[in-house]
């Protein structure tokens, strides 16, 4: 068994040719032939952003309502076909792959059913693109506080199914904690209606938590009730240099306490990242010359008039607060240097440096990208160990990383000197060995899908795996919901 399992098929259930025809006819009768895509018509749905995976479904179907999703799931059950939900296809772990299964796209479930501003919530369907929800909330002076690069294509269904992370988890919590209610089509085609608007509800098990982050292996999320928060009316943004990651964490705690919890983002970019950014995008101005070892993008967000009402000289009080706190920390040596954005353009530049990480990372190949999380105070150790281990495995290899530092979420990427599956496995093993030794996780925010199934088998506590298998068997006894994903086969 190798760790690079890009070619592993999802163990779907391909039907015989005549059985396939019967299935397709039934589906067409249920949702209309125009929404049952086969052959070349599927091409817009079968690839993903990584380019590593290509699905080969029996069909891609586009039901137009929860009830139609339920009918299609029942049909698939009757025909014994596996079901793979797909939404914005911005996932990075092959979670929407299939060989022979039926791909259910939620793209037509695209209504924002309601934005209830007074109650600070929205009812949205699974096919709503994240940035559309951002816009709808903003129209009411509110914000759905989940923010990451792929927001222009990721859909709510996938966002919830993968418990997607991003840059604002630090302030507003995980996707899981932003979800009040959920609507799910179960493996037998029944609709589980958990569309609660309640902030407290202890009437039995919190079932929605099972489906959030389950990557479609327990059911298909068709709609959700999500929390909204007051949209920050102003931001203060800075790029800082710190002497060490330990100092950066102390700095974060100080910033949180001294601003009263206004920190929206705290993103780490080490010198190796800034070097690569300069190579790939020399047009992007660097923050510090000479370059600094530990660069932090910090952003405060505020709604209070005392923070956001411009002073007579046109200055923003929130920026003044940030300057004041940083000045004190510079005096103490916690901050070595700082660049504070004084215009929206400067703020955008700071974010661009960070959000170019995908472009910067994927510009060099071959690469081995990871998405790990660590106890906050162990990140420095992890990076130090990898700086020693990687050259042992491949003397010419280079690496870079970026991190959502406040969440302990590190995206470490190695660039080996050759495209060698054995080397790939050795590097991933070294990363995961060290993460495990430091009580971290081999999957922080991207999920498991296909690509980390073997890591699940090797790294996850066997008792936890057993409990997951028991839950999976209880909810999907025929194993037809996104089979082969998340949970590795026994033994």
Footprint of its own copies on 380-419 (CB under 8 A): 404, 406-409
- Containing 246, the helix (H) or strand (E) segment is helix 245-259
Q: What is the DSSP string of 173-239?
A: --HHHHEEEEEEE-TTS-EEEE----S---SS--THHHHTTSTTSS-EEEEEEEE-EEPPSEEEEEE
Maximum pairwise Cα distance, the chain: 77
Residue selected from 42, 448, 450, 481 as contacting its own copies according to rule CB under 8 A: 448
Q: Is 331 in the site for its own copies (CB under 8 A)?
A: no
Q: Is 230 in the site for its own copies (CB under 8 A)?
A: yes
Q: CB within 8 A of 291, min separation 6: which ones?
A: 271, 274, 275
**3 state SS of 441:** strand
Residue selected from 119, 153, 342, 346 as contacting its own copies according to rule CB under 8 A: 119
The β-bridge partners of 227 are 121
- 60 neighbors 51 (Cβ within 8 angstroms): no
Q: Is 260 in the site for its own copies (CB under 8 A)?
A: yes
Name which of 217, 351, 248, 235 is nearest 297 in CA terms: 351
Neighbours of 221 (CB within 10 A): 30
Residue selected from 446, 480, 481, 484 as contacting its own copies according to rule CB under 8 A: 446
Residue selected from 13, 66, 174, 357 as contacting its own copies according to rule CB under 8 A: 174
Q: Is 447 in the site for its own copies (CB under 8 A)?
A: yes
Rounded to the nearest 10 degrees, the angle between the axes of helix 379-393 and helix 421-437 is: 150
- 7 neighbors 99 (Cβ within 8 angstroms): no
Residue selected from 42, 249, 385, 390 as contacting its own copies according to rule CB under 8 A: 249
The one segment of 19-27, 148-156, 204-212, 344-352 that binds its own copies by CB under 8 A: 204-212
The β-bridge partners of 399 are 414
Residue selected from 34, 39, 51, 204 as contacting its own copies according to rule CB under 8 A: 204
**Whose Cβ is closer to its own copies: residue 266's or residue 415's?**
266
- Containing 416, the helix (H) or strand (E) segment is none
Neighbours of 294 (CB within 10 A): 21
The one segment of 186-194, 264-272, 350-358, 384-392 that binds its own copies by CB under 8 A: 186-194
The one segment of 69-77, 84-92, 374-382, 388-396 that binds its own copies by CB under 8 A: 374-382
Residue selected from 81, 468, 483, 484 as contacting its own copies according to rule CB under 8 A: 468
Region 9-68 residues binding its own copies, contact defined as CB under 8 A: none
Region 136-165 residues binding its own copies, contact defined as CB under 8 A: 162-163, 165
CB of 37 to its own copies, least distance (A): 30
- By 3-state DSSP, what share of the chain in percent is helix, strand and coil, each rounded to 5? 40, 20, 40
CB of 398 to its own copies, least distance (A): 26
Half-sphere exposure of 94 (CA within 13 A, CB side): 24
CB of 259 to its own copies, least distance (A): 6
Buried b vs exposed e over 156-165: b needs ≥16 C-beta within 10 Å?
bbbbbbbbbb
CB of 487 to its own copies, least distance (A): 7
Q: Is 471 in the site for its own copies (CB under 8 A)?
A: yes
Q: Is 374 in the site for its own copies (CB under 8 A)?
A: yes
* Cis peptide bond N-terminal to 87, omega within 30: no
CB of 454 to its own copies, least distance (A): 12
Calpha distance 223→216 (Å, rounded): 13
Residue selected from 167, 237, 259, 361 as contacting its own copies according to rule CB under 8 A: 259
Q: Is 120 in the site for its own copies (CB under 8 A)?
A: yes
Residue selected from 44, 80, 152, 173 as contacting its own copies according to rule CB under 8 A: 173
Q: What is the DSSP string of 11-71?
A: ---PPPHHHHHHHHHHHHHHH-GGGEE-GGGGHHHHB-TTSS-B-B-SEEE--SSHHHHHH
Calpha distance 353→113 (Å, rounded): 36
Residue selected from 29, 311, 437, 464 as contacting its own copies according to rule CB under 8 A: 464
Q: Is 443 in the site for its own copies (CB under 8 A)?
A: yes
Q: Is 452 in the site for its own copies (CB under 8 A)?
A: yes
Residue selected from 140, 197, 380, 420 as contacting its own copies according to rule CB under 8 A: 197
Q: Is 321 in the site for its own copies (CB under 8 A)?
A: yes
Residue selected from 176, 281, 291, 389 as contacting its own copies according to rule CB under 8 A: 176
Q: Is 207 in the site for its own copies (CB under 8 A)?
A: yes
Region 282-311 residues binding its own copies, contact defined as CB under 8 A: 302-307
């Amino acid at each position: 068994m190798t760790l690079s399992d890009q070619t592993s098929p999802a163990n779907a259930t391909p039907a015989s040719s005549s059985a396939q025809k019967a299935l397709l006819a039934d589906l067409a009768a249920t949702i209309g032939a125009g929404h049952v895509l086969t052959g070349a018509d599927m091409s817009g749905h079968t690839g993903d952003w990584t380019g590593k995976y290509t699905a080969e479904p029996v069909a891609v179907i586009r039901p137009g309502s929860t009830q139609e999703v339920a009918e299609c799931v029942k049909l698939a059950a009757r025909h014994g076909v596996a079901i793979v939900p797909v939404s914005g296809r911005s996932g990075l772990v092959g979670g929407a792959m299939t060989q022979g299964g039926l791909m259910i796209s939620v793209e037509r479930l695209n209504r924002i059913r309601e934005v209830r501003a007074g109650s600070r919530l929205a009812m949205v369907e699974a096919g709503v693109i994240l940035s559309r929800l951002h816009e709808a909330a903003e129209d009411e002076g509110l914000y759905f506080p989940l923010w990451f690069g792929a927001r222009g294509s990721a859909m709510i269904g996938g966002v919830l199914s993968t418990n997607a992370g991003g840059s604002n988890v630090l302030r507003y919590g995980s996707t899981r904690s932003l979800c009040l209610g959920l609507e799910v089509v179960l493996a037998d085609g029944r609709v589980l209606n958990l569309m609660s608007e309640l902030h407290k509800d202890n009437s039995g098990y919190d079932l929605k938590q099972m489906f959030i982050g389950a990557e479609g292996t327990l059911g298909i999320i068709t709609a959700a009730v999500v929390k909204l928060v007051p949209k920050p009316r102003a931001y203060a943004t800075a790029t800082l240099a710190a002497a060490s990651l330990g100092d950066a964490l102390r700095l974060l705690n100080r910033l949180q306490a001294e601003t009263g919890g206004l920190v929206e983002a705290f993103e780490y970019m080490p010198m190796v990242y800034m070097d690569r950014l300069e190579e790939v995008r020399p047009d992007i101005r660097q923050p510090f010359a000479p370059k600094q070892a530990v660069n932090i993008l910090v952003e405060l967000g505020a709604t209070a008039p005392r923070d956001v009402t411009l002073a007579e000289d046109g200055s923003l009080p929130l920026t003044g607060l940030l300057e004041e706190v940083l000045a004190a920390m510079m005096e103490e040596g916690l901050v070595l240097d700082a660049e504070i954005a004084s215009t929206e353009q400067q703020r955008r530049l700071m974010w661009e440096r960070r959000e170019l990480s995908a472009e910067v990372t994927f510009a060099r190949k071959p690469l081995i990208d990871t998405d790990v999380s660590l106890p906050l105070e162990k990140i420095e150790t992890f990076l130090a160990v990898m700086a020693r281990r990687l050259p042992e495995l491949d003397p010419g290899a280079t690496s870079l990383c970026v991190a959502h530092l406040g969440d302990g979420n590190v995206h470490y990427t190695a660039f080996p000197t050759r495209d060698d599956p054995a080397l790939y496995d050795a590097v991933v093993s070294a990363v995961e060995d060290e993460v495990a030794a430091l009580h971290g996780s081999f999957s922080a925010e991207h999920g498991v899908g296909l690509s980390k199934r073997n890591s699940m088998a090797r790294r996850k506590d066997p008792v936890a795996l057993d409990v997951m298998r028991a839950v999976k068997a209880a909810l999907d006894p025929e194993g037809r919901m996104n089979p082969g994903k998340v949970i590795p086969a026994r033994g």
